[in-house]
Structure 1
Amino acid sequence: MSKHENVWMPDPTQAESTRLFQWMKKLGFTDYDSFHQKSVEDPDWFWKEVVNELGVEWYTPFKKTLDLSAGPAFPKWFDGGIMNVAHLALDRWAGNPFKKNAVALYWEGDDGVRLSYTYQELHDEVNRIANGLNSLGITQGDNVLLYMPMIPETVIAMLALSKTGAVFSPAFSGYKEEALLSRLKASKAKALITADGFFRRGKSIRMKDEADLAADHCPSLEHIIVVERTGIEIDWNPYRDVQWSSLRKNGNAFKTEPMHADDPFMIIYTSGTTGKPKGAVHSHAGFPIKAAFDAGICMDVRAGDTVFWYTDMGWMMGPFLVYGGLINGASVVLFEGTPDYPAPSRLWELVERYKVTHLGISPTLVRSLMRHGKEWLRQHDKTSLKLIASTGEPWNPDPWHWLFKHAGQKKVPIFNYSGGTEISGGILGNVLIKPIQPVTFNAALPGMDADVWNERGESVTNEVGELVIKTPWVGMTNSFYQDDKRYLSTYWNRFKDTWVHGDWALKDEKGYFTITGRSDDVLNVAGKRLGPAEVESVLVDHEAVSEAGVIGVPHAIKGEEPVAFVILSPLYEEGDVLLEELQLYMERKLGKALAPKRMHFVKDLPKTRNAKVMRRAIKSAYLNHSSGDLSALENPDTVEEIRKIGASHLNERE
């Protein structure tokens, strides 16, 4: 089946019952394209309507929706508005007699331990921790780093810090000393909240050790607050370390701190290849409202639904899960473990147990689950699913169809979702009132003035170009933390008053978008642009290939040539005959000029914990260059395998 065919069609009754359509109709629209056009032509009107529709409660109403006096790179939203995200996500529901006893948070540990919190119970626990934090002197404007596994205390800490007016910065739970220290120093953190460790694949993984190593070199740090998750023995510094349990002593109500709409509530760092990480600054009325809008209006999350995104709190989709779910009055599922442990059915077991309505996963995760076969899906009831969302990387057609057919029975829409840490959510998605095609995105999301431009800044159709955003939106990062210059050079230095996102994209004449890869990943083979995901898609279409990663390496004549790293399906064995077959297959599919001349069989590809392939790690290892910060990798041993392959082919390349 062509990826350009409509494979999911919204039933008219179903489409008209969505929150998006009902809202559009209330605003006088029944056609998505004309509604979207209005949303980007008049952002002042649009985002005012968004906060009204989401029921955002203000301590003091805002006077002006959008102020662009400092230019489009520095918009000021909801000027004069006083609010707090903790009130928006929690306080108002705990104070609602019809909502306070509904489940806000389900949690399941790797070891099978389960907990749940109603909105009232979560509110009470957040108050306890807010009082405890306050007793340590953590108050409005202080920065606190969260180095936490996916446990309830992580969400409790986030909400408690917002209540006090402090700013939290979530770090990936797999980071080691160097990456952790760079974020502690960059944020000038006053406190670090961590755990003794967590459980993963039945083993306890230590965290406090890494926290101590980093903390010893961070002069701003006054406290390390430790959740005793595993009970393993840890070093204890009585002058710096604080037990989480000791913060819970004061159960009195804590008055939520009134904050300006553009006051920061979170700094989330993106990994760089080298140097200082980039800290995207997000405000109380920025990230939470964009996340809640995308989840609630675009993905149709409603009060009473259950949202589960397989992620880490250090990645953007962790906070998205929390605020996208709770602000809409839904339940969120937090999972400490891995989707295929102790059996490949674990993910689907969670879907059945918690009656998950909205499931978020990555294409790489789907490819890894495909290896185990579809029988594991059949063991569990998945009829609760209303939507499956995916983000993190471009799709290949085969895993997309596999997920659509076997997990969703060809009935559940797959909401492709692409945006980023600095976006607070999505630029592109699959709105539920238009047909959905495999791999692609059927729309720029409401309020997102997205386009594809060539190198001259001209809008192009059916041609790969830079994904750009032409109008500011709620949720746009308020610059990088204490680094306006880097922020402007990263997003605003290419075209005047235009955000250049760093993705190569293609838009067709029907308004469907395809992401072909990061523009810094793109291959330029003899003047021809080639997205690595395009080559990977062709490779995994071959029955022998389970997964593939493609990079570009220098070539004396072409400038660059693609090199492929292939994980074979279980029924196939490595060998020269198969290698030759794959090379001929790629030449047939892509042509000799673009097909990889060099392919290598590998046992695995370097991946982050949320199963995203890290191509720069492949490239740096293969070329024997410095790899920069690789602490986000789930499987660092794969890098060494690739480095050895690269070394053995060095003479050939030279």
Structure 2
Amino acid sequence: MTELTEELKMIKESKIFYPNPEKVKKSVAGSIEKFNELLKLSWDNPEKFWNDVARELWWLHPWEKTFEGALPNFRYFIGGITNPAYNMLDRHLEKGANNKLALIWEGENYETKFYTYRMLWAEVNRFANVLKSFGLKKGDRVAIYLPNLAETVIAVLACYRTGIIFNTVFSGFSEQALRDRLIHYEPQVLITADGGYRRGKEIPLKPKADQAIEGINSIQKVVVVKRTNTPVKMVPGRDYWWDELMQKAPIDCPPEPIEANEPGLVFYTSGTTGKPKGVVHSGVAFTVNNYIYAKYHLDLHPEDILWCTADIGWLTMHIWGIVGALANGITTIFYEGAIDYPKPDRFYQIIHKYRVNKLFTAPTAVRMLMRYGERYMEPYDLSCLDVICTVGEPLNPEAWYWMYENLGKEKIYINNTWGQTETAGTPLAGAAWITPMKPGSCGIQFLGAKLEVVDEEGNPVPPETPGNLIMTRPIPMLVRTLWKEHDLYLKSYFRQVPGAYFTNDGAVKDKDGHFWVTGRIDDVINVAGHRLSTMEMESAIIEVEGVAEVAVVGAPDEIKGLVPIAFVTLRQGYEVTQESEEKIRKIAVEKIGKIAEPAKIYFTPVMPKTASGKIMRRLLKELVTKGEVKGDVTSLEDVTTLEKIKEIITER
């Protein structure tokens, strides 16, 4: 690992913030001692811990054994039969929560919808019967290509209720990115909308979906939600309006019995090969694990109002906004648009309006709000805020202090967490109002988890030493396989360190047991909390006429954390023009989405290569981040290429 001089200095000098004693007493843990006992039990006797956690939920048939196997092949709650939707809805109704508010939806144009637990239960049952009317059954597949709508939550919960495996796709993805995922996933039903709203503009979704599914024979039915009421093409016998189907659907739909290890959801995440990988999670284990994690991460109480600002296309929203919130019986907010539209005060407006006390957001959003300054928050009463959690990319101390001092007036708990699509939650985090806070830290090894920082050979490194982050014990919600690619699953995560899940993230563990994740060590970058493959971006750009070679690296950005930077070499006979740059930007957006548009494009006649012809991207990354190369260049075929590229960067 490269020595992280600045990061190590920050880690060693980091200040510790201890929780407010009065808040500790009112926490779900009750006391620091009680939580530490629970934490120790979860590490020393994980089978008893998970057995006790699972018993807090409803089961149709008890499990025969709490845990068996080891990484990479493991199972939890073997033989246990339950249903995720039952635990998120019916379980609360049985306790008398019929009229308790479950879901608040607000559109970018200020439209609102409110659902009690009974109302949400009824809508979920109806749509579950809609899916069954298409002939779908447990184990069949549905893809959801929707923005943050109330119908999106209903569709997800209906899939849980019926045992239908689902996948949600970010509505900002292009037709090609959607198509690639659908071809691999092979769903029988696609759920989309006529359109959506983003920054005051109407975003067409049905036309994009029509183009994406052309020739995909697996898709037999398309359900369309009316959001913008813009006329769209409806194919008879294939396309159906959501509201018309719901009017005819009966309200009674018993939950499907599901074994604890059966697949429930598939989420696509970028990988180093450039092709998106379908991460498979158990629906039941996902629910059990995130029920207990959200409870302590956010210190959830029955009266809480949670706003998760993520898009439904990212697993973050499922972890906290749906499963974590509803399994704990609280109220969750779904907001459709940009949090700074139509003005930068929209974020504060929503917190003020609904008295949000638990907030889950991304460091990118925090840095964006910082850029606008404090004047936009002044008209609003934000004293309701109690806990703010973040995830998605490293949280810089400056953003931490801004949240703590300006947003929370030093009366909030900040829980910066670490997790991945593959971990399905955050095994590095703090327990709100229990774990001491360190600005920028990802907290401690959490309940039942076991992680280590190791060297290239897999040996643990001393505290405050950079290394590779690995997980040596599975938690219930950890990835079980990759969709249709089990060999790739083994190769991607378990070949580097035998018997351990290799995260591909670099990290440092300090002397107090806090972890500091420093970033990706593979060819995947986090742009505003969204994992993007540099290989996928390169594959798109190389299609531009005249492009001979391309290398994409991530560079630090004050708002987004990282942004893609493209180095492009043109073929002989092609000149660098404004048009060529526009074509590169355009194809990245068309193939992947706006999030993949390069922040800068450097046209260079040479690339730093090894003798075998491999482009040394880490050297390009050093040039754009530090302005010079201090790393090992012994493998470089021609050292003079670095000076040539440095000149191009300086001139640009």
2:577 is matched with which residue?
Answer: none
How much does 1:618 deviate?
2.0
How much does 1:13 deviate?
3.7
How much does 1:184 deviate?
1.1
What SS does the corresponding residue of 2:410 show, helix, strand or coil?
Answer: coil
- Identify if the C-alpha distance between structure 1 residues 17 and 646 changes in structure 2 by more than 3 Å, giving closer, same or farther: farther
The structure 2 residue matched to 1:618, chosen from 562, 565, 576, is 565
2:290 is the alignment partner of 1:291: yes
2:23 is matched with which residue?
Answer: 14
How much does 1:564 deviate?
5.6
1:317 is matched with which residue?
Answer: 316
What SS does the corresponding residue of 2:234 show, helix, strand or coil?
Answer: coil
Moved more, 37-46 or 365-374: 37-46
2:249 is matched with which residue?
Answer: 250
Looking at structure 2, the residues matched to 359 and 295 of structure 1 have their Cα atoms a distance apart, in angstroms, of 12
2:439 is matched with which residue?
Answer: 438
Looking at structure 1, the residues matched to 274 and 440 of structure 2 have their Cα atoms a distance apart, in angstroms, of 34
The structure 2 residue matched to 1:241, chosen from 239, 242, 251, is 239
The structure 2 residue matched to 1:653, chosen from 621, 631, 645, is 645
1:136 is matched with which residue?
Answer: 134
2:41 is the alignment partner of 1:42: no
Indicate if the aligned counterparts of 1:167 and 1:265 stay in contact, CA closer than 8 A: yes
What SS does the corresponding residue of 2:287 show, helix, strand or coil?
Answer: helix
2:158 is matched with which residue?
Answer: 160
How much does 1:41 deviate?
3.2
- Identify if the C-alpha distance between structure 1 residues 384 and 563 changes in structure 2 by more than 3 Å, giving closer, same or farther: closer
Which AA in structure 2 matches 1:618? I
What SS does the corresponding residue of 2:130 show, helix, strand or coil?
Answer: helix
How much does 1:7 deviate?
5.1
How much does 1:133 deviate?
1.4
Name stretches of at least 5 consecutive residues in structure 1 with no aligned partner.
Answer: 524-530, 534-559, 568-610
Indicate if the aligned counterparts of 2:175 and 2:590 stay in contact, CA closer than 8 A: no
2:448 is matched with which residue?
Answer: 447
How much does 1:280 deviate?
1.2
Indicate if the aligned counterparts of 1:311 and 1:317 stay in contact, CA closer than 8 A: yes
What SS does the corresponding residue of 1:463 show, helix, strand or coil?
Answer: coil
Which AA in structure 2 matches 1:84? N
State the identity %: 33
Count, aligned residues: 563
2:422 is the alignment partner of 1:422: yes
Indicate if the aligned counterparts of 1:356 and 1:385 stay in contact, CA closer than 8 A: yes
Looking at structure 1, the residues matched to 405 and 603 of structure 2 have their Cα atoms a distance apart, in angstroms, of 38
2:194 is the alignment partner of 1:184: no
Which AA in structure 1 matches 2:110? G
Which AA in structure 1 matches 2:46? P
How much does 1:93 deviate?
1.8
The structure 2 residue matched to 1:495, chosen from 485, 494, 497, is 497
Name stretches of at least 5 consecutive residues in structure 2 with no aligned partner.
Answer: 1-8, 529-550, 571-580, 608-640, 647-652
TM-score by length of 2: 0.81
- Identify if the C-alpha distance between structure 1 residues 522 and 107 changes in structure 2 by more than 3 Å, giving closer, same or farther: closer
How much does 1:40 deviate?
2.6
1:605 is matched with which residue?
Answer: none
Looking at structure 1, the residues matched to 435 and 453 of structure 2 have their Cα atoms a distance apart, in angstroms, of 21
Indicate if the aligned counterparts of 1:621 and 1:642 stay in contact, CA closer than 8 A: no
Indicate if the aligned counterparts of 2:555 and 2:562 stay in contact, CA closer than 8 A: no
1:277 is matched with which residue?
Answer: 276
Which AA in structure 1 matches 2:26? S
The structure 1 residue matched to 2:507, chosen from 499, 505, 508, is 505
What aligned pairs does 1:260-275 form with structure 2 within 5 A after superposition? 260-272=259-271, 275=274
Indicate if the aligned counterparts of 1:274 and 1:628 stay in contact, CA closer than 8 A: no
The structure 1 residue matched to 2:522, chosen from 501, 520, 523, is 520
How much does 1:95 deviate?
3.5
The structure 2 residue matched to 1:119, chosen from 85, 93, 117, is 117
Looking at structure 2, the residues matched to 278 and 635 of structure 1 have their Cα atoms a distance apart, in angstroms, of 18
Which AA in structure 1 matches 2:21? P
Indicate if the aligned counterparts of 1:286 and 1:424 stay in contact, CA closer than 8 A: no
- Identify if the C-alpha distance between structure 1 residues 308 and 390 changes in structure 2 by more than 3 Å, giving closer, same or farther: same
Looking at structure 2, the residues matched to 366 and 477 of structure 1 have their Cα atoms a distance apart, in angstroms, of 29
- Identify if the C-alpha distance between structure 1 residues 630 and 494 changes in structure 2 by more than 3 Å, giving closer, same or farther: farther
- Identify if the C-alpha distance between structure 1 residues 90 and 437 changes in structure 2 by more than 3 Å, giving closer, same or farther: same
2:371 is the alignment partner of 1:371: yes
How much does 1:434 deviate?
2.5
1:94 is matched with which residue?
Answer: 93
What SS does the corresponding residue of 2:160 show, helix, strand or coil?
Answer: helix
What SS does the corresponding residue of 2:318 show, helix, strand or coil?
Answer: helix
What SS does the corresponding residue of 2:73 show, helix, strand or coil?
Answer: coil
CA offset digits 1:198-227 (Å, max 9, x no partner):
011111100011111111121111011100
- Identify if the C-alpha distance between structure 1 residues 452 and 169 changes in structure 2 by more than 3 Å, giving closer, same or farther: same
Which AA in structure 2 matches 1:468? I
Indicate if the aligned counterparts of 2:174 and 2:593 stay in contact, CA closer than 8 A: no
Looking at structure 2, the residues matched to 208 and 128 of structure 1 have their Cα atoms a distance apart, in angstroms, of 23
Looking at structure 2, the residues matched to 369 and 298 of structure 1 have their Cα atoms a distance apart, in angstroms, of 23
- Identify if the C-alpha distance between structure 1 residues 67 and 566 changes in structure 2 by more than 3 Å, giving closer, same or farther: closer
What SS does the corresponding residue of 1:132 show, helix, strand or coil?
Answer: helix
Indicate if the aligned counterparts of 1:60 and 1:83 stay in contact, CA closer than 8 A: yes
Looking at structure 1, the residues matched to 10 and 22 of structure 2 have their Cα atoms a distance apart, in angstroms, of 27
Looking at structure 1, the residues matched to 49 and 568 of structure 2 have their Cα atoms a distance apart, in angstroms, of 47
Indicate if the aligned counterparts of 2:360 and 2:389 stay in contact, CA closer than 8 A: yes
2:59 is the alignment partner of 1:61: no
- Identify if the C-alpha distance between structure 1 residues 631 and 402 changes in structure 2 by more than 3 Å, giving closer, same or farther: farther
Looking at structure 1, the residues matched to 471 and 590 of structure 2 have their Cα atoms a distance apart, in angstroms, of 30
Indicate if the aligned counterparts of 1:174 and 1:631 stay in contact, CA closer than 8 A: no
Moved more, 325-334 or 378-387: 378-387
How much does 1:635 deviate?
5.0
CA offset digits 1:321-355 (Å, max 9, x no partner):
10000000011000001111111111111111111
Looking at structure 2, the residues matched to 482 and 433 of structure 1 have their Cα atoms a distance apart, in angstroms, of 42
Looking at structure 1, the residues matched to 301 and 101 of structure 2 have their Cα atoms a distance apart, in angstroms, of 13
CA offset digits 1:421-474 (Å, max 9, x no partner):
111100211223132111113311111101111112221211110111111111
Moved more, 273-282 or 502-511: 273-282
Looking at structure 1, the residues matched to 153 and 560 of structure 2 have their Cα atoms a distance apart, in angstroms, of 23
CA offset digits 1:139-171 (Å, max 9, x no partner):
211110000110000000011122222111011
How much does 1:370 deviate?
1.4
Looking at structure 2, the residues matched to 612 and 279 of structure 1 have their Cα atoms a distance apart, in angstroms, of 25
Looking at structure 1, the residues matched to 188 and 524 of structure 2 have their Cα atoms a distance apart, in angstroms, of 40
How much does 1:61 deviate?
1.0
How much does 1:416 deviate?
0.4
What SS does the corresponding residue of 2:442 show, helix, strand or coil?
Answer: coil
Indicate if the aligned counterparts of 2:482 and 2:488 stay in contact, CA closer than 8 A: yes
1:220 is matched with which residue?
Answer: 218
Looking at structure 2, the residues matched to 563 and 392 of structure 1 have their Cα atoms a distance apart, in angstroms, of 15
The structure 2 residue matched to 1:478, chosen from 477, 480, 487, is 480
Which AA in structure 2 matches 1:642? K
- Identify if the C-alpha distance between structure 1 residues 621 and 20 changes in structure 2 by more than 3 Å, giving closer, same or farther: farther
What SS does the corresponding residue of 1:78 show, helix, strand or coil?
Answer: strand
Indicate if the aligned counterparts of 1:43 and 1:473 stay in contact, CA closer than 8 A: no
What aligned pairs does 1:338-353 form with structure 2 within 5 A after superposition? 338-353=338-353
Indicate if the aligned counterparts of 2:552 and 2:567 stay in contact, CA closer than 8 A: no
2:80 is matched with which residue?
Answer: 81
2:54 is matched with which residue?
Answer: 51
Looking at structure 2, the residues matched to 516 and 355 of structure 1 have their Cα atoms a distance apart, in angstroms, of 34
Indicate if the aligned counterparts of 2:98 and 2:117 stay in contact, CA closer than 8 A: yes
Looking at structure 2, the residues matched to 445 and 563 of structure 1 have their Cα atoms a distance apart, in angstroms, of 29
Moved more, 220-229 or 244-253: 244-253
Which AA in structure 2 matches 1:19? V
Give RMSD over aligned pairs. Answer: 2.9
